[in-house]
Amino acid sequence: AAADKGGYSSFMQKEILEQPDAVANTIRGRVHDGAVVVPELEAFGDERLASIRRIIVIACGTAAYAGLVAKYAIERWARIPVEVELSHEFRYREPVLGDDALVVSISQSGETMDTLMAVKYAREQGAQTISVCNTQGATIPRESDAAIYTHAGPEIAVASTKAFVAQITALYLFGLHLARVRGTLDASAQREAIDELLGVPGKLETVLAESAKVEQLAHWMADTRAVLFLGRHVGFPIALEGALKLKELAYIHAEGFAAGELKHGPIALIEPGQPVFVVVPSPRGEHSLHPKVVSNIQEIRARGARVIAIAEAGDAAVLPFADEVLRIPLAGPLFEPLLAVVPLQLFAMHLSSAKGLDVDQPRNLAKSVTVE
């Protein structure tokens, strides 16, 4: 049965290992002849989609970070402005909405009260609504004009892992469908993005197969009191998610920052021995932010930080400045987050176990928060 640990030490471990399937199952049936066609969006109506002038993504917790990742891809592909906001902030600030606004909610459970109230409010204000959800027939998709289901399978562990990669996948499919309808991406660029997406499950297998180093690192770091996470562009929300996982699972003070923001404040936190995870973008491509992130690493290293870099296979530029390097396979810039998040999930999980904590049921948290 799906709600059986099946020999794994925790549901979380099982769910982390199920991520290749979560992505593959979410793509299935939505790619046809080199184009993304999401049947649920066909029902919503392509003309209606083409009339949208802006997108507001609302969600809480990990789902909100999936939205932040997707913002980069949807804007890049569909050339439409995307804002991402926490549901509870959105709901109570009198947002300016109308029928040219599309509110995309993301919720694994489909029952999060903060997000449900925000969706209802958006509808009352005349906005169109689409739900990205992992639970068939849940309240939020029922209250929305359309639903794009993620097919991650039931997620039992309280802290979200496989639902996160499935949410990014579903939002990328949404972005590619929208780009096709809006005519903002030529056929070869669409095909390239689809090939990247189809390659993700296999690359996730590679990341998962090389997880022993992360486990060892977590054991070495079991006494750590605070950890910082840095990233840039799509790596920024991954830094936020890495920090959230560590708070949730290991009760360690953790913060994620945009690497470019370091010099505007957070660098004051760096003292000798401070562990800092850095999500390093690929050095390939002429617009790569790699040199900027490497220079951030040099800056913190010079102040004594203990740097753990998550970097593309073969990236040698990080070696002189990193204490540890965790490798991910080569992928297009927008697809790196789907891989880079995995070592951070594993790190939090193993650190939680190393501290003897309950990985699946962290204190004070609920899987689905059905109160405001």
Three state DSSP letters for the chain? CCCCCCCCCCHHHHHHHCHHHHHHHHHCCCEECCEECCHHHHHHCHHHHHCCCEEEEEECCHHHHHHHHHHHHHHHHHCCCEEEEEHHHHHCCCCCCCCCEEEEEEECCCCCHHHHHHHHHHHHCCCEEEEEECCCCCHHHHCCCEEEECCCCCCCCCCCCHHHHHHHHHHHHHHHHHHHHHCCCCHHHHHHHHHHHHHHHHHHHHHHHCCHHHHHHHHHCCCCCEEEEEECCCHHHHHHHHHHHHHHHHCCEEEEEEHHHHHHCHHHHCCCCCEEEEECCCCCCCCCCHHHHHHHHHHHHHCCCEEEEEEECCCCCCHHHCCEEEEECCCCHHHHHHHHHHHHHHHHHHHHHHCCCCCCCCCCCCCCCCCC
Give me the phi and psi of 271, to 5 degrees please.
-135, 165
Between 23 and 305, whose beta carbon lies closer to ligand G6P?
23
CB of 369 to ligand G6P, least distance (A): 5
CB of 64 to ligand G6P, least distance (A): 8
Contacts for 110 with CB less than 8 Å, ≥ 6 apart? 131, 133, 134, 135, 138, 139, 140, 141
Q: Is 68 in the site for ligand G6P (CB under 6 A)?
A: no
355 an active-site residue? Answer: no
Map the footprint of ligand G6P across residues 27-66, applying CB under 6 A: 60-63
Binding footprint of ligand G6P, residue count (CB under 6 A): 16
Q: Which residue is nearest to ligand G6P (CB)?
A: 61
CB of 365 to ligand G6P, least distance (A): 5
Binding ligand G6P (rule: CB under 6 A), the pick from 150, 160, 211, 352 is 160
Question: What gap in Å lies between CA 346 and CA 16, rounded to an integer?
Answer: 8
CB of 368 to ligand G6P, least distance (A): 5
Select from 5-13, 68-76, 153-161, 347-355 the region that touches ligand G6P (CB under 6 A). Answer: 153-161
Q: Is 280 in the site for ligand G6P (CB under 6 A)?
A: no
CB of 348 to ligand G6P, least distance (A): 12
Between 167 and 190, whose beta carbon lies closer to ligand G6P?
167
Cα separations (Å) of 222 from 50, 250, 256, 362? 51, 9, 19, 17
From residue 202 to residue 231, the character string flagging contacts with ligand G6P as x (rule: CB under 6 A) and all else as - is ------------------------------
Between 67 and 281, whose beta carbon lies closer to ligand G6P?
67
Map the footprint of ligand G6P across residues 334-363, applying CB under 6 A: none
Binding ligand G6P (rule: CB under 6 A), the pick from 17, 97, 148, 159 is 159
Query: What's the distance, CA 55 to chain centroid?
Result: 18
Map the footprint of ligand G6P across residues 99-128, applying CB under 6 A: 107-109, 112, 115
Binding ligand G6P (rule: CB under 6 A), the pick from 113, 208, 354, 369 is 369
Select from 155-163, 178-186, 194-202, 254-262 the region that touches ligand G6P (CB under 6 A). Answer: 155-163
Q: Is 365 in the site for ligand G6P (CB under 6 A)?
A: yes
CB of 75 to ligand G6P, least distance (A): 22
Between 62 and 296, whose beta carbon lies closer to ligand G6P?
62
CB of 250 to ligand G6P, least distance (A): 15
Q: Is 158 in the site for ligand G6P (CB under 6 A)?
A: yes
The catalytic residues are 367
- Which parts of this chain interact with ligand G6P (CB under 6 A)? 60-63, 107-109, 112, 115, 158-160, 365, 367-369
